[in-house]
Structure 1
Amino acid sequence: MADFRAIAQAKLQNEGFAKRMKAALCPGLYEPKGISREESRNVLANCLALCDGNRDILSAVLQEKFIAQHSPFYWAANGAEVGNYRRSQDRYPLLFKLFEALTGELSADTQEDILQALYRTERDALYGDIQAMLTSISPPYSDISSIPNSTIAISVHNPSKPYTQYRIDFRITKFFDRLLVDSEITFRSFLASGSLWTLRAVSEAEPQSQGPQSWHLELTEFRSSELEATYNPLLILAYGGTVYSKARSVKLWINPADGSQEVAMYHQFSRPNTTLPHTMRLGIRNENLATFYENPYIGTDRSLSGIIVISLDGNRY
């Protein structure tokens, strides 16, 4: 079986081929206002012609980092949005044409390259739309439930400069139905503050004493652009893994359905040098919120909603 990556690397060693491929991609990667779907199709057609019509070779070439130390996928994810379309396929047509050009799985290295672009641009909506393609870097996620017609929504509001505080809204319908039947609920991972995060609601084992069924929330920082494995080698020995040196704090509010007082939970990292993944357990101390019935925090469609605020301390330690 042909090693198409080796073939692609060999072709890119040819200076003439590499220059022609870069020239073919430039109209799509560097146009300030982006390019249309039809123009994106033409760009890929020109690239395919340079690969003698071999789609396997083109697929491998597009995943090589031959444009300023990055792959074309990085630059397409980092490029200009086309209009104010709702769908990512319409806002980033070249990126999705690159995905269509693949003849196999997206390599882990290319997935990491795309993630670096998303860190830089903080495009959580785009990440959410392509998360299923980033299987090597995204936390496991499944929306399969025994409860029909239950919906989960999570959205990130990008802050204004200096980017020190991020707000995330979440909502799930039939919340306690799913918690009772499935024991846990996992939201899709999201991008905020230069990191990938996951939120879970977990039903705990029934307490020995009489009382309401207990549950808690878990917020996990899964990956981060702030990793500093080489910042201080002694930290690696002390903490046994990659670390970053920025302190963070998390606040979470559960919205009441009847206008009463919201429930707030707070977590601050115990020390700024934190190994990843790092999970924060946010316990439910409010008895009204903890109960599965007659709950004043459950809204229409038995929904639960809330707000997460992630704050970043930029001081290095």
Structure 2
Amino acid sequence: MRRSVSPTPTVKSPLPSISKGKGRANNSWFSFGASRTSREVQATVIGLVRDLVKEQDYNSRASSGILESCAEACTGYDTSLSALLQEKSIEGHTPMYWAIVKRPPDGEEDETAVPDLLTALISFASPLTAKTISDIRHACLLTSDQALFQRLRMSPEFSPLSGTDEMLLGATIPPDEISVENVPGDEGAFTVDFEIVHFQKRMLVSKRIELDFIARGTGTRHPTC
């Protein structure tokens, strides 16, 4: 018996039109109608995010507008945008990984691009899982972007304080400052300056302080105990 099988429809994901004046995505792109399935919506959203990262549009308002529309579409189909953004759906990595690898180092990007695409992605992906944080750390290591790594470290999602340190410092993010400088003329040498808030009190109570930084393309965790 010969059975006629209809071909599976292909879900395309071109970037929607963007009004740069308002930084909003074209919401009509997400008017799928009742015929759309949750899986098709997920595939379309992943495709849109992939295009965002590939094009690396530094118009942060436009990127946020597209991601906001994706979030609205996901909500309508009982899908978590946070979970989709943390899938390793782009060549074995998360969208945040590629946003870091493709972005200019901190200090070189256009000031109007802050918050940039990476910031928008992290905002919609939060709370971050341990695997996602590991993927982000890996990208920072590959680019040897210590400045970005420290900026991310100041986020409670990326580097939360222990409960004891939260009580001592009255904060949810590490207040310590870390400055790394490469030594000219020596490919393997670098200097690190630490400024640790309430060092003695934290050592007496917590017994341990951990400082993370990147130097010469290598991630380092310096425990003080």
TM-score for the superposition, normalised by structure 1: 0.43
Corresponding residue for residue 125 of structure 1: 147
Alignment length (residue pairs)? 178
Q: How does 1:281-296 map to 2 (within 5 A)?
A: none
C-alpha distance in structure 2 between counterparts of 1:185 and 1:130, whole Å: 21
Deviation (angstroms), 1:187? 5.7
The answer to whether structure 1 residue 60 and structure 2 residue 83 are counterparts is yes
Cross-structure match for 1:169: 193
Separation in 1 of the partners of 2:137 and 2:64? 24
Q: Which consecutive unaligned segments of at least 5 residues does structure 1 have?
A: 1-9, 203-317
Map Cα deviations across residues 167-204 of structure 1 (whole Å, 9 max, x no partner).
32234578xxx43784467363222242232252x5xx
Which runs of at least 4 in structure 1 moved beyond 6 Å after TM superposition?
Answer: 138-141, 159-162
1-structure distance, mates of 2:201, 2:45: 55
Task: Describe the shift of the 1:31–1:166 C-alpha distance in structure 2 as closer, same or farther (beyond 3 A).
Answer: farther
Match of 1:98 among 113, 121, 124: 121
Q: Does 1:28 align with 2:49?
A: no
Distance, in Å, in 2 between the alignment partners of 1:89 and 1:186 is 36
Return the structure number with greater strand share.
Answer: 1
* Residues 172/108 of structure 1: CA separation in 2 closer, same or farther (3 Å cut): closer
Query: What amino acid is aligned across from residue 130 of structure 1 in structure 2?
Result: L
For residue 49 of structure 1, report the CA deviation from its aligned partner.
Answer: 5.0
User: What is the deviation of 1:36?
Assistant: 2.3
Question: 2 CA distance for matches of 1:191 and 1:139?
Answer: 22
Residue 179 (1) aligns with residue 170 (2): no
Structure 1 equivalent of residue 101 of structure 2? 78
**Secondary structure of residue in 2 paired with 1:125:** helix
Q: Tell me: CA distance 1:35–1:171, structure 2 relative to 1, closer, same or farther (3 Å).
A: same
Q: 2:213: which partner in 1?
A: 190
Query: RMSD of the TM alignment (CA)?
Result: 4.3
By how many angstroms is 1:128 displaced? 2.2
Distance 1:78 1:163, change over 3 A: farther
Give the Cα separation in 2 of the matches to 1:140 and 1:164: 36
Give the structure 2 partner of residue 116 of structure 1: 138
More helix by share: 2
Percent identical pairs in the alignment equals 23
Structure 1 residue 39 corresponds to structure 2 residue 29: no
